[in-house]
Amino acid sequence: MNGSLTFTHDPSQTFVSSSITPDLISGNSYTFNITNLLPGAQFSPIITVTQPAAGTPILCTTTATVSDAYGFLGNYSHNFPQVVTCSYDPNDKNVDPAGVGAPHFVEMDSWLNYQIRFQNTGTDTAFTVVIVDTLDAALDRNTFSITGHSHPVYVSYTPSGEVTFRFNNILLPDSNVNEPGSHGFVSYRIKGLTTNPDPTEVNNTAYIYFDLNSPIVTNTTLTTLSDNFLGLTDADHENSSFTLYPNPSSKGALLKYLGDETNNMQVEILDPTGRIVSEKMLMTSGSLQIPGNLLAPGFYLIRITGDTTSHVRMVVK
């Protein structure tokens, strides 16, 4: 299989390094050519960037175009919106999609992409790193698959759902000697059970062991699986005069105004960082159809502005 992969980081981030040299660099976009990728093989550049201040919303994107000798042509894209957080402990766990609102709502049939990161902040080389991760009972273990790792890893499972990632002879330097080389990660994806009730909470925590030391406990990720989380909005949700449905939306969404204001209203679509991604639209009859072809998959904010009204709604594509 041949093609190309392009990674674009947020303008607020600064590129540091890549484990694979990019074939093309254009601004904050880095393109890698893919040549003769064999069936079952992976192409996984590890890109290091510096982050802006805590609390800053960022958006990274990946796009890929691949083809083979039999006429297959595939085009793929993925948006990864996040808010920068800081922690004393550099060992953590995250899940993509992050989900909507405080419950972190995600559609029932979604893939959950987990990544566990670790760093040796001790004073000597780590010879073995072991990560123990007990899968939530609501997750379908038959859909589990590894999607990436920084070093060779051996994976084992138990009937109770405990997954162990073992990095033998990793020789991970400590951060005082080699900060960039002191990091590692493993990532996997999994789906919820088809028998889960709506909604279902999914919690996950990992335990990271460096040699014979006590485990470092990561943060606990939260995902709420549901197909019924319509109309997440701004802080005045209870008194909001707008409805937006369906939400999530795969094709488009209908925005309706239920209030008393009669003037025309301007509607804009913004990405999670606040950048405008569409031309202003005019709502003239109390409703507006938001075309699905305006948006790539991801999270967006819809800002509605009138003479006396200003609201923000969130939509998931």
Domain boundaries, the chain: 1-86, 87-227, 237-316
Structure tokens at 158: 């138990």
The pLDDT of residue 151: 95
Of 16-25, 164-173, 297-306, the one with minimum mean pLDDT is 297-306
Distance of alpha carbon 245 from alpha carbon 70, whole angstroms: 41
What mean pLDDT is predicted for residues 144-158? 94
Closest by Cα among 295, 194, 300, 283 to 250: 295
Taking only the tens place, the pLDDT of each residue in 209-224 is: 999 888 999 999 999 8
Instruction: For residue 246, name the pLDDT band (cuts at 50, 70, 90).
Output: low
Instruction: For residue 295, name the pLDDT band (cuts at 50, 70, 90).
Output: low
Counting Cβ atoms within 10 Å, is residue 100 exposed (0-12), middle (13-18) or buried (19+)? buried
Closest by Cα among 137, 149, 144 to 189: 144
Taking only the tens place, the pLDDT of each residue in 95-143 is: 988 877 677 888 888 899 999 999 998 888 999 999 999 999 999 999 9
Instruction: For residue 42, name the pLDDT band (cuts at 50, 70, 90).
Output: confident
**Residues forming a β-bridge with 269:** 302
Positive or negative: CA dihedral 178, 185, 91, 50: positive
Backbone conformation region of residue 69, classed left if phi is above 0, alpha if psi is from -120 to 50, else beta: alpha
Taking only the tens place, the pLDDT of each residue in 180-234 is: 899 999 999 999 999 999 889 999 999 999 998 889 999 999 998 987 654 334 3
- For residue 29, what is the DSSP state? E
Q: 180 preceded by cis ω (within 30°)?
A: no
Angle 91-205-143 from CA coordinates, rounded to 5°: 110
The pLDDT of residue 236: 39
Fold of the domain built from segment(s) 87-227: Immunoglobulin-like (2.60.40)
Class of the domain covering 237-316: mainly beta
Task: State the amino acid at position 199 in one-letter form.
Answer: P
